[in-house]
Chain A
Amino acid sequence: MHIVVGVKWVPNTQAVRFDPHTGTLIREGVPSIVNPHDLHAVELALKLRERYGGRVTAVTMAPPGAVKGLEHIIGMGVDDAVLLSDRKYAGADTLATSYVIASAIKRMGDVDLIVFGQETIDSSTAHVPAQVASWLEAPYIYYVEEVEAIEDNRIRVRRRLEDLVEWYELEMPAVIAVLMHSQKPRPVRLIHKLRAVLEKPVETWSNEILRLDERCVGLKGSPTVVTKITWMPEVPRKQKIFKGEPKEAVNWLIRRLEEEKILPTCGADKCGEGD
């Protein structure tokens, strides 16, 4: 079985700060990382390889620096990786990105399963898995927490939504997006990382190789327009702590919220009577 796992090379948003004067992100000196949610996709892909055999290929569309991220993933045990990198791909929205990724997967030819993380920490659209599936005309499912079985070219997955669990069966090749925090991504191992450095199992595919219509990739192929960026100013926390019985605590909290005019005033005791 050939599994492709899609990852994104993102700025570590925990280290990014906001410029309060301009409202823009200060990205200077902020190291990029593999989107943490994607590591759960990698983990699931590696578990499937252990169960069913085959090969796992990581794919990303990014500038050349993303090789570091692909090496990290190969260090976790992924077999090889493809970096889709071309100046022409720069400035892409999710549509143009998914087009390039889907085209690369088509070029690989023998792919049975495509695994993505749930969403990215730098934009959180969660578009790309569904868009890639659409380009490939493959079925897709989000929020997968476990693959229960793969047999007869069908995959049975369990997905968890906020308050329910569902089971689905999809025909393969299929695209699954893995529920964030659902796996335990394994650490980088010495032997795998050494292989990543020594054998460099990362191929770079530029548009010379993919030969995509330039009008469909990068900025030109991106209908999305960012018209405005705004941000919520930091709210100073009041950090009050109440210690006591739950009932007293509830009354205390309601009174505070009434004082702050967050709740309409009705008297805490009265509100509690219904219980």
Chain B
Amino acid sequence: MQGLNRRFEVIVVGAGPAGLSAAYILAKKGFHVVLLERGRGVGSKQVFGGRVYSSLLERVFGSLGDAPIHRWVRRERLSIINGERMLTVEYISGGKYSFTTYLGQLASWMAGKAVEAGAIIVDEVRVDRILVEDNSVVGVESGGDTLKADVVVDAEGANRLLLEELGLVEKPRPSDMALGVKEVIKLGEEKIDERFGLRSGEGAAWILAGSVSAYTPGGGFIYTNKDSVSIGVVVSLESGGLVEEPYRLVESMRLNPLLKDIWREGDIIEYSAHLVPERSVRLIPSKLALNNFLVVGDAAGLLLNTGYTIRGVDYAAYSGYLAANAIVEAEEKYGSYSEEVLRRLYEERLKRSMVFRDIARHKAVEMIWENPTMIKQYAALLLDTLGGLYELGESTPSLRETFKNARRKNKVSLIRVMADLVHGVMKA
């Protein structure tokens, strides 16, 4: 093994939003920090749906004025698709809460900030393991080379090989993970504005459930970028969830007769797939701090899927920010990065933050997740009811009649509807 003369105070593993945010804050506070990334360039190994919430990101980076913001999301759509029928709810927002972007561009922007602040970013280097001596983390190992530091921040992402080896997490169970597959379709700015009913600079975020995503909640998504549309499907890896080749799922969404005209004449410019931690609460490592070691971002299980929105990038950035501040404070106040200090300054604060509380709170999706037939049944019930109201022949049935007929057809009792409704509202 070959060591290196140069000593860093902090090694950050992984140049995603979490790692880059941590490196940025630490460098800004004058720490010697090196960030190791396995992919070529920053952001090259990352995939997300397409939307980022801005408020936490502003807390980390200050102004987002020069950030690669494609469109501020103004139109929120939620659809249920069942075969050839679709129900859509649209909410038009008055403010700027989230924006669409390419994650690679956002990561490059963050990297620019970090490097400007003095962080060293080294890409194309895969960290094989976290080095532990005498019960304390002392550095990392990569291809036989070792690099030591006072403290290591693990921002390795959803595929947590390093944490598995440290024994902080178990190998993911298929039921805890989902696979996200995504296509980016280039369409042109004007066509996007026209087809989504947007003004220049405004964006749409669209979550689809039902047959389009094999009845998994929050399954399908569509986001408008500047001149392209990101479409994708997230499916559970649990048996039965992944019944087709992943690319076929997004392909069948692209070819869906209800949707395909939106991206007519478009050109697919990108295809990607990524693991998505779905049941975040169960994916949180047993500890987020060890002696000289912190876990941030997706690796810490920080991703929220409520069924009507998916949130992860800003959580990741915020956890990196909290971790960096904890390191700064640990150094200043305690001169120690012991597990106890880091747990108090990072893990406990993170767990008290809104980010964490939100993840723990939103269980509704899990409930539906565990019972995919429920969403299927309700999708049919809802669409049959509306179909009865709108698809009129000679008679004009009342809402009550159509609902009753729909319930009969789908074998759902009124009592069950009431019970599920109450249950769902309580959990959400």
Contacts and interface: CB of A to CB of B under 8 A. Distances in A.
Asked if A and B bind, the verdict is: yes
B95 to A, nearest CB: 32
A185 to B, nearest CB: 13
Interface string A180-206: 000000011111011001100000000
B200 interface: no
B269 A197 contact: no
B125 A190 contact: yes
Interface in B116-168: 120-125, 142-145, 147
A188 B120 contact: no
Contacts of B142: 189-190
B124 A193 contact: yes
Contact of A193 (B2, B125, B270): B125
A198 B121 contact: no
Contacts of A75: 124-125
Given A29-B269, A31-B40, A198-B6, A190 B143 contact: yes
Interface of B is mostly: strand
Contacts of B269: 28-29
B143 A194 contact: no
A72 interface: yes
B36 A190 contact: yes
A194 B147 contact: yes
A189 B143 CA distance: 7
Interface in B25-52: 34, 36, 40-41
Contacts of A29: 269-270
Interface residues of A, number: 15
Contacts of B144: 189
Interface string B265-281: 00001100000000000
B2 A191 contact: yes
B425 interface: no
A171 to B, nearest CB: 37
A190 B147 contact: yes
Given A29-B270, A198-B6, A190 B145 contact: yes
B4 interface: yes
A189 B121 CA distance: 14
Contact of B122 (A28, A31, A190): A190
A184 B269 CA distance: 32
Contacts of A198: 6, 120
Contacts of A191: 2, 4, 145
A29 B105 CA distance: 12
B270 A197 contact: no
Chain A CB within 10 Å — which of B120, B125, B270 has the most? B125
A193 B4 contact: no
A191 B269 CA distance: 35
Nearest to B268: A17
A197 B121 contact: yes
Contacts of B34: 194
B4 A194 contact: yes
A153 B36 CA distance: 42
B420 to A, nearest CB: 45
Given A191-B2, A198-B6, A72 B124 contact: yes
Interface string A25-44: 00011010000000000000
B40 A187 contact: no
A68 B143 CA distance: 21
A22 to B, nearest CB: 13
Chain A CB within 10 Å — which of B6, B34, B123 has the most? B123
B121 A187 contact: no
A248 B142 CA distance: 53
A197 B124 contact: no
A193 B122 contact: yes
Contacts of A188: 124-125
14 contacts: A29-B270, A31-B40, A72-B124, A189-B142, A190-B4, A190-B36, A190-B125, A190-B145, A194-B6, A194-B34, A194-B122, A194-B125, A197-B120, A197-B121
Given A72-B40, A193-B124, A194-B34, 12 more contacts: A28-B269, A29-B269, A72-B124, A189-B125, A189-B144, A189-B145, A190-B143, A191-B145, A194-B4, A194-B6, A194-B122, A194-B125
